[in-house]
């Protein structure tokens, strides 16, 4: 039953143009060193936030889903980065799933960083997210420093964060 549910969720997401576990990393679809589109996402509290409101310190965007196995493998590292570097780094975990699904998953996994919803996939579209997970690292001015698509090991995320001064 669980396998059938996973297969259905994967197929539905894949049909929407986003595949879990994509081919090896590719070049960034957005220009590095340039500002990214000023997306808006909805917090689990129902409030919208704009990406530009987080300027002043680096940002780690983590596009993920509860059904995505590679996402589940990478989320503990996102938690670690948020916990260790929370004063110097803003972490935004973004999913298009419903509030109850996200809250339940976050509680079960003991994830404490803020999760946001990309309800209509407008943020994913603007940032050219075509697979999950996808990580974007922005500098304090909102410029794209790294675009990591698919499951990447912790060292790759750490190297991307090092580029914005997060050690």
- Only one residue has tokens 């794209």, namely 144
Q: How far apart are the first and last CA of the chain?
A: 43
Indicate the burial class of 75 (C-beta count within 10 angstroms; 0-12, 13-18, 19 or more): buried
The answer to whether residue 38 sits within a structural domain is: yes
Asked if residues 19 and 131 have their Cβ atoms less than 8 Å apart, the reply is yes
Residue 25 is predicted with a pLDDT of 47
| β-bridge mates for residue 137, sequence order | 60, 146
Residue 77 structural domain: 2-162
- CATH number of the domain at 15, please: 3.40.30.10
pTM for the structure as a whole: 0.83
Q: What is the mean pLDDT of residues 74-83?
A: 94
| β-bridge mates for residue 147, sequence order | 136
Residue 27 is predicted with a pLDDT of 86
Residue 116 is predicted with a pLDDT of 98
State the total domains in the chain: 1
Residue 7 has pLDDT above 60, yes or no: no
Residue 58 has pLDDT above 80, yes or no: yes
């Amino acid at each position: 039953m669980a396998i059938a549910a996973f297969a259905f969720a994967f197929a539905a997401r894949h049909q929407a143009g986003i595949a879990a576990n994509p081919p090896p990393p590719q070049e960034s679809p957005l220009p590095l060193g340039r500002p990214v589109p000023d997306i808006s996402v909805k917090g689990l509290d129902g409030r919208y936030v704009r990406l530009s409101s987080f300027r002043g310190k680096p940002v780690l965007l983590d596009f993920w889903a509860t059904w995505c196995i590679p996402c589940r493998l990478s989320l503990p590292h996102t938690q670690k980065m948020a916990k260790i570097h929370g004063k110097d780094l803003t972490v935004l975990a973004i999913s298009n799933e419903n509030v109850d699904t996200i809250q339940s998953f976050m509680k079960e996994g003991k994830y404490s960083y803020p999760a946001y919803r990309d309800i209509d996939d407008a943020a994913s579209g603007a940032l050219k997210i075509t697979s999950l997970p996808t990580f974007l690292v922005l500098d304090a001015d909102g410029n794209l420093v790294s675009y990591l698509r698919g499951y990447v090991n912790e060292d790759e995320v750490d190297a991307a964060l090092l580029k914005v001064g997060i050690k």
